[in-house]
Amino acid sequence: MKAKSIKGKSVEEIQTALQQSMADGYKPTLAIVFISIKQDRKAICEILHQNEIDIIGATSCTEFIDGHQDQGSIVILLLDLNKAYYRILFQEVGQMTVSDAAQQMAQAALKHFSNPAFILCSTGLSSTGKMMDGETLSRSIENEVGTQANIFGGMAGDDMTFTGTYAFTYNQSTDYGMAVLILNEDKIGLHGMAISGWKPIGVTRTITKSEDNMIYLIDDQPALDMYMRYLGSVLPSADNKLEFFENLGNQYPFQIEREDREPLMCNPIGFDKEKKALICEINIQQGSKFRFSTPPDFDIVETVINKATELKNTIQTDADAVLIFSCAGRLAALGPMAQQENEGLAEVWNSPMAGFYSYGEFGRSMNGKHEFHSTTNSWVALKEK
């Protein structure tokens, strides 16, 4: 399998880049597309379709390939993969539960391959403000296919506008559902890892009152007050969700404890000053225990790259392509170091890479278990057997 990554800031630039990539006789069969909501998804899909290239994609919060990162653009990973080795599935949640939709999709995957692997592009936030339940989505797929199956991917973004995210194929698009690349793992090997690199600090605390994604009390104290005391900071002058997220919440995530599993990283993305509550990016169960995180530093990037190097040295194989799904919070918290992290992963595997900053990540943790993540870099290397 040969891979090439292309980029562009317009439909015309992608058209040119695609033609240049195929000038040497290269004939890709599959395109994995990460695209800003500012761009014309339908036009991009039409160009690829006219060249007989299958499509799966997601909207994003800044896009990157090896050697390039930009917001408001388009990046595409092209693969000349045997069409017998993959299927593209599309599943809207609609009036179903997330669990039922995920199970239905996973059952369809098993009808195609006995050993399916999943590259999952789910929506993050619908145009009506409904968050995708990533934990339920991940667990429901795993319940159908087993813990041995590889599940990697990311939740679509919307350039941090919080106006609505989309997952799509050539002729289907949804703001509440998923587009999934199913790979026959008997033919395509997948090796990857999801890791945050943030270190915990302080004592374990308890969320004593919460509802959905609102935290009201921590250790029976107003959650907002306690969080600001921990940061030693002051609130923004207005109830500005983006300002709060960029300057505070994304840099100091909660590490929520899970029995026999990696902690769940969770970013506070806003606050309700009147209720003295924190608004989180995911639903938080009352009674959950967590620890605060240390400030971000370069050790986070080194940890991610070192663990990737260890894995490659252990499995003794190379890669045809790499996909990276990195939390939008990492970009805001790490700044230029976030791009260094992605470039470092591409260098470890020495292969074409594409990725985007997302609203949630799916992937196998260092302990080997699949999880839904936040504030995490989830990457996967693909290799035809």
pLDDT tens per residue, range 29-54: 999 999 999 999 999 999 999 999 99
Indicate whether 236 pLDDT > 90: no
Residue of 260, 302, 295, 267 whose CA lies nearest to 281:
267
Which secondary-structure segment (H or E) carries 329?
Answer: helix 328-334
pLDDT tens per residue, range 120-162: 999 999 999 888 999 899 999 999 999 999 999 999 999 989 8
With H, G, I as helix, E, B as strand and everything else as coil, classify residue 364.
Answer: strand
User: Could you tell me how far CA 237 lies from the centroid of its own chain?
Assistant: 31
pLDDT at 227: 85
Q: Determine the average pLDDT of the residues in 102-120.
A: 97
pLDDT tens per residue, range 188-202: 999 999 998 888 888
Q: How confident is the model at residue 345 (pLDDT cuts 50, 70, 90)?
A: very high
pLDDT at 307: 92
Q: Determine the average pLDDT of the residues in 326-353.
A: 91
Q: Are strands 188-195 and 200-211 parallel, antiparallel or unpaired?
A: unpaired
- For residues 40 and 46, give the distance between their C-alpha atoms in angstroms, rounded to a whole number: 10
Indicate whether 59 pLDDT > 90: yes
Lowest mean pLDDT among 70-79, 131-140, 239-248, 325-334: 239-248
Lowest mean pLDDT among 38-52, 86-100, 276-290: 276-290
The CA–CA distances, whole Å, from 347 to 168, 173, 322, 342 equal 29, 33, 10, 9
- For residues 346 and 380, give the distance between their C-alpha atoms in angstroms, rounded to a whole number: 11
pLDDT at 298: 81
Mean pLDDT of the chain: 91
User: What percent of the chain shows pLDDT beyond 90?
Assistant: 70
Given phi > 0 = left and psi -120 to 50 = alpha, else beta, which region is 96?
A: beta
Q: Determine the average pLDDT of the residues in 87-114.
A: 96
Indicate whether 242 pLDDT > 60: no
pLDDT at 246: 58
Burial of 158 (0-12, 13-18, 19+ CB in 10 A): buried
Q: How confident is the model at residue 212 (pLDDT cuts 50, 70, 90)?
A: confident
pLDDT at 267: 80
pLDDT at 230: 79
Indicate whether 247 pLDDT > 90: no
Name the one residue in this structure whose structure tokens are 């045809």.
Answer: 320
Lowest mean pLDDT among 197-201, 315-319, 360-364: 197-201
Position with higher pLDDT, 178 vs 129 = 178
The CA–CA distances, whole Å, from 92 to 96, 98, 161 equal 9, 9, 22
Q: How confident is the model at residue 205 (pLDDT cuts 50, 70, 90)?
A: very high
Q: Determine the average pLDDT of the residues in 291-315.
A: 88
pLDDT at 344: 94
Position with higher pLDDT, 217 vs 242 = 217
- For residues 111 and 172, give the distance between their C-alpha atoms in angstroms, rounded to a whole number: 21
